[in-house]
Copies of this chain bind each other. A is one copy, B any other.
Amino acid sequence: MERQGQEHLEADDLSEVWAALTPEERGNGLLELSRAQAHEFFVELTTLDQAALLPYLPKSEWRVWIRLLAPDDAVDLVQQVDLELRDELMSLLDEPTRREVTALLAYAEDDAGGLMSPRFARIRPEMTADEAIGYLRKQARDRVETLSYIYVLDAEQTLLGVVSFRELFAAAAGSRVKDIMRRDLVTVPADLDQEELSRLFARHGLAAIPVVDAAGKLSGIVTLDDIVEVVAQEATEDIHKLGGMEALATPYLDTPFMSMVKKRGGWLAALFLGELLTASAMTEYEDDIARAVVLALFVPLIISSGGNSGSQATTLIIRAMALGEVEPRDWWRIVKRELAAGLVLGAILSVIGLVRVLAWQAVWHSYGEHYLAVAITVAVSLLFVVAWGTISGSMLPFVIRRLGFDPASASAPFVATLVDVLGLVIYFNVAQIVMSGTLL
């Protein structure tokens, strides 16, 4: 792209360094852009960035900035700023937008209602294609969210059907809207969860979905660009939870230190309390360890293998649930599949473990005269522990979902904790059977 020499900072240059700037520097940078670029730049920022920036922009200009935003984006911003600023921002909106924003504020942020915009393009069923296009030409000046779909409403605002702009455009000039519109359309209620909504977008390949109330009146539309953010944001939440913590709501480097420590510390402490059970379990087998210290050597190996196989299983199931690929009714199919996978994977690790113990014994005589008992104990335990890992890792998300929590809380560390405790019990019991009469 060609650039002409000018005194203003360029938006692209600001974009490039944006992440590294403090809010104050960001504000100054924005004010150094040309007016047109600054406006566009501000509109394209995330709501979080807009909210963080506002205090560093001259208060006399707030009216300008907030009026740049479409109602659904203004709602997001109003919800993001501190409570005391909220009323002030609302008072800066023009009257019709304020009414729209107030109506939208009633919806939960992560529902279809919280994502929808009331600025959709509308026509009447009895219009001809040409009349409709002329009518839309007027609406195009009012910044409707999209012209891709035109909604056909009666006088009571009841949604009768939809025409894509392309269909309308390609239709014969005199044909009636009601004859070319599609009556069979996907609609959602305002309280539909955004994750569910994003799946509908994916399944039907739509660019917008209308939100209707119980009486069939069109309240607003959710457009694909809002959904891209939802998909990324839901994935981030799941990934954070899978890592064994509460999801951060803001980018890593923008999250205040103490708030981050709280979100990590809570889960870390909870997992720690769970892991304390391993100390109790180990105490049960303290005498065995005292008699056969060699047993202690393989404890980390055994429990981590169970944890790793559990982490794989829980990750697969949680993601498949989030994408709607796996339903609660599939649990039995999954148990069978994961049991089989666990036994195959366990067998692979068993063989490696067996070879390792025998090889070290052959070269360094590391494990004394009863090395064969040690090798068998390790190999058999691995088989069971890995299979237990895959089973518990794959079932925990179902259990947690059944209890009404987010299955993504069945994080890899959570599963590992579960597997560690039972893994120790399996290991020492196998040892007692295999080594009975020799080492134990």
Task: Spell out A's residues near B (CB within 8 Å).
Answer: 1-2, 15, 19, 43-44, 136-137, 140-141, 143-144, 146-148, 165-166, 169-170, 183-185, 187, 198, 201-205, 207, 224-225, 227-229, 231-232, 235-236, 238-240, 242-245, 248, 251-254, 257, 260-261, 264-265, 267-269, 271-273, 275-276, 278-279, 282-283, 286, 289-290, 293-294, 296-301, 303-305, 307-309, 311-312, 314-320, 323-327, 330, 333-334, 337, 340-341, 344-345, 348-349, 352-353, 356, 366, 386, 411-413, 416-417, 420, 424
Please report whether the interface of chain A is mostly helix, strand, loop or mixed according to DSSP: helix
Asked if residues B148 and A413 are in contact (CB atoms below 8 Å), the reply is no
A202 CB contact (under 8 Å) in B232, B324, B330:
B232
Given the interface contacts A166-B140, A170-B141, does A268 sit within 8 Å of B345 by beta carbon?
Answer: yes
**A170 adjacent to B140 (CB under 8 Å):** yes
Number of copies of this chain that the complex holds:
2
Known: A312-B268, A320-B251. Is A184-B1 also a contact (CB below 8 A)? yes
What B residues does A165 contact at CB under 8 A?
Answer: 140, 147, 165
Residues on B with beta carbons closer than 8 Å to the beta carbon of A261 = 341, 344-345
In the complex, the answer to whether A327 meets B19 with C-beta atoms within 8 Å is: yes
Give 11 pairs: A residue, B residue, CB < 8 Å, sorted on A: A147-B166, A147-B169, A207-B225, A251-B323, A251-B325, A265-B345, A268-B312, A269-B349, A272-B301, A275-B304, A278-B300
> A311 — which chain B residues lie within 8 A by C-beta?
243-244, 411-413
**Complex contact A315–B170 (CB within 8 A):** no
Q: Are A304 and B278 in contact (CB under 8 A)?
A: yes
Query: When chains A and B are docked, how far (Å) is the Cα of A146 from the Cα of B44?
Result: 21
- A-B CB proximity, top 4 nearest: A243-B315, A235-B235, A278-B300, A252-B320
The residue from B251, B298, B317, B416 contacting A279, defined by CB atoms under 8 A apart: B298
Told that A242-B242, A243-B412 touch, could you supply 17 new A-B pairs with CB distance under 8 A? A140-B169, A148-B148, A231-B231, A243-B314, A244-B315, A252-B317, A261-B344, A264-B312, A265-B344, A268-B386, A269-B352, A272-B308, A278-B304, A279-B298, A296-B299, A300-B420, A311-B411
With A251-B320, A315-B242: A265-B166 Cβ-Cβ less than 8 Å: no
Known A243-B312, A272-B305: A337·B228 in contact at CB below 8 Å: no
Residue of B19, B170, B243, B366 near A137 (CB, 8 A) is: B170
Whether B330 and A253, one on each chain, are in contact in the complex, defined by CB atoms closer than 8 angstroms, is yes
| A74 vs chain B, min Cβ distance (A) | 15
Q: A229-B202, A417-B304 are in contact. Are A333 and B253 (CB under 8 A)?
A: yes
Q: Which residue of B lies closest to A309 (CB)?
A: B268
Q: By the criterion CB–CB under 8 Å, are A272 and B239 in contact?
A: no
- Taking CB atoms, residues of chain B closer than 8 Å to A202 are 228-229, 232
Find the B residue at minimum CB distance from A184: B1
Bound together, the chains give a CA A293 to CA B286 distance in angstroms of 7
By the criterion CB–CB under 8 Å, are B352 and A272 in contact? yes
Whether the pair B413, A307 counts as a contact (CB closer than 8 A) is: yes
Chain B residues with CB under 8 Å of A184's CB are 1
Q: Is the CB–CB distance between B257 and A337 below 8 Å?
A: yes
Residue in B276, B297, B308, B413 whose beta carbon sits within 8 Å of that of A283 in the complex: B297
Residues of B within 8 A of A289 (CB): 289, 293, 296
* Chain B nearest Cβ from A192, distance in angstroms: 15
Contact A297 B286 (CB under 8 A): yes
> Which of B1, B136, B271, B345 lies in contact with A187, CB distance below 8 A?
B1
